[in-house]
Each structure stands twice: as C-alpha cells, then as structure tokens.
Amino acid sequence: MEDSSFVVEAIAGIILFAVGARMLKLASRTGGRHERLLGTYLALAGISYAFYSIPLMGDVGSLFTPLTFVGRVVYTASIYFMLEFTRSVFRSEERWASWLVFTLMLGLVVGVGISSAQGDWEGYLVSSPWFWCEWLGYTLAPLWVGAEGILAFQNARKRVRLDLCDPIVANRYLLWGLFGILQVCGSLIIIPMYAGYEADQYFTFGTDVALGIFEILAAATTWLAFFAPTFYCRWIAEGSYSASPERGA
C-alpha cells in the first residue's frame, strides 16, 4: 500500500473489532447464539485487518508473508460466522442455505489451501485459478448478506407502516444489507489492485484509497446498525418509513 492509506484499513479493523467485542459482550449477557455468531465474525474480521495492515506500516522484513497469511486465514475463518449468521437468521428452515454455506466455505478453504501450497501465501496472484476460487467465496458471502438485508428491509418497511415492526429494526436490516454491498464493492476493487501488485509488486494509490473508503464505510455501518447513538435512533423512530399512509386506514 502506498503512503499512509493502510492506516484507513487499520482504523476499519479497529472499528470492526470494537463492534464485534461489544457484540460478544452482549452475547455473554443474553446467551444468544446470533449475538455470538455476529460478534465472532466482526471480531475476527477486525483481527484479520490488523494482520493485513501491520506488515504495511513499516519494514517487517521476512514477517511480511507470515503476517499477511495469518490475516488471510483469520479472514477466511470469519466468513464462516458471517454465513452461518445469515443462514440462521434469514433461512434457518431452507436446505439450500446450508448447502450455500458449505459450498462457499469449501471454495474458500480449497482456494486458500491450494494457492498457498503453490507458493502464493498472500493470496495476491490474480493469474492463479485458485485465487478466483477464494475470491468467489469471500465475495458471494457478503453478496448474500447484502441481498438478505435489503430484502428484509423492504418487507420490514411495509410492516413498520402497519406497526408490526420497529423502525429501528427495519433500519438495522438496511444497514446490514449496505454492509454486505460495501464488502462486495471492496472485493471488486481488489481485482485491479491485486493485478497491479502482481505486475509491479506495488499497490496502486487509487485502488488502495478506494478499498480503504469501502472498508471504513462498511465498518462504520456495523457500528451504526448495532450500537447507534440515541439521536440517530430517535431520528429513525420519528421520521423513518412511516411517511406513507396506512393502507385501508
């Protein structure tokens, strides 16, 4: 990464870890499985961002590859918790969802495993077919999150108008869906970014900054979704999605 733009990724990692840790604290209080799944995902994602950022902050010499590889493995593990959370909240009764979780995780593990065995420990070689196996895993997972979140929001908005859903909950669906979409945008930016790295051993500034922006926006979205400040909750509750008149009223 060029200049100090890796700092943005580190900040995104800190936010994700903080939200994840807070969610795990909530899980310890409520004993809820979903809190635990989401908290673990966010905390692991935050840790992986740190492992990706540290080697870029200074000259770590021979530790560059091991640290990046650890970040890659931790991120891969985090995806399982993201997928399982999405499945258990939105598609707990549907068999295809379990197969989707299994297939995406298989793609990730095979992609990381074989590309590493072939010497690409960082996972930056776009020319390798195994890169694409891994890329599909960590791109389709947030795409599913985004789709489920937006779909849930659209339906929740209708329920809000009938007083069958809390506006804050509807907004939380929207933000969770946006988080998934922002993660997908990050995955798309990675392609030219890593292609440039493979060619020049250097991350180009434009893609680097774009990735940082998407990552920090995604991280901020999780904070706003789950630990929003009071004024934001009040704004959503008061204005929100109840602008149109109730049907039949």
Q: Which residues contribute to the site for other proteins (CB under 8 A)? A: 23, 26, 30, 32, 34-35, 38, 89-90, 92-93, 152, 154-159, 162-166, 168-169, 172-173, 176, 225-228, 246-249
| Phi-psi label, residue 128: left if phi above 0, alpha if psi -120 to 50, beta otherwise | beta
Q: Which is nearer to other proteins, 22 or 132 (CB)?
A: 22
Q: Round to whole Å and give the CA distance between 245 and 116.
A: 57
Query: Judged by CB, which is closer to other proteins: 176, or 194?
Result: 176
Taking the CB of residue 192, how many other CB atoms lie within 10 A of it? 14
Contact indicator for 88, 33 with CB cutoff of 8 Å: yes
Comparing CA positions, the residue from 22, 12, 19 lying closest to residue 71 is 12
Which DSSP letter does residue 122 get? Answer: S
CB of 140 to other proteins, least distance (A): 21
**Which of residues 80 and 176 has its CB atom nearest to other proteins in the complex?**
176
C-alpha distance from residue 200 to each of 2, 54, 76, 125 (Å): 13, 21, 26, 12
Angle of helix 205-226 versus helix 167-200 axis, rounded to 10: 160
Q: CB 81 → other proteins: shortest distance, Å? A: 14
Closer of 72 and 157 to other proteins (Cβ): 157
Alpha helices in the chain (DSSP H): 6-30, 33-57, 64-90, 95-117, 129-161, 167-200, 205-226, 230-238
Least Å from the CB of residue 239 to other proteins: 18
Which of residues 59 and 93 has its CB atom nearest to other proteins in the complex?
93
Closer residue to other proteins (CB): 72 or 161 = 161
Q: How far is the CB of 85 from other proteins (least distance, A)?
A: 9
Q: Give the three-state DSSP class for 102.
A: helix
Least Å distance between CB 248 and other proteins? 5
Q: Tell the smallest beta-carbon distance from residue 93 to other proteins (Å).
A: 5
Nearer to other proteins, 52 or 226 (CB): 226
Tokens found for residue 81: 């918790």
Closest-CA residue to 34 (of 99, 102, 108, 92): 92
Supply the minimum distance, in Å, between the C-beta of residue 40 and other proteins.
Answer: 13
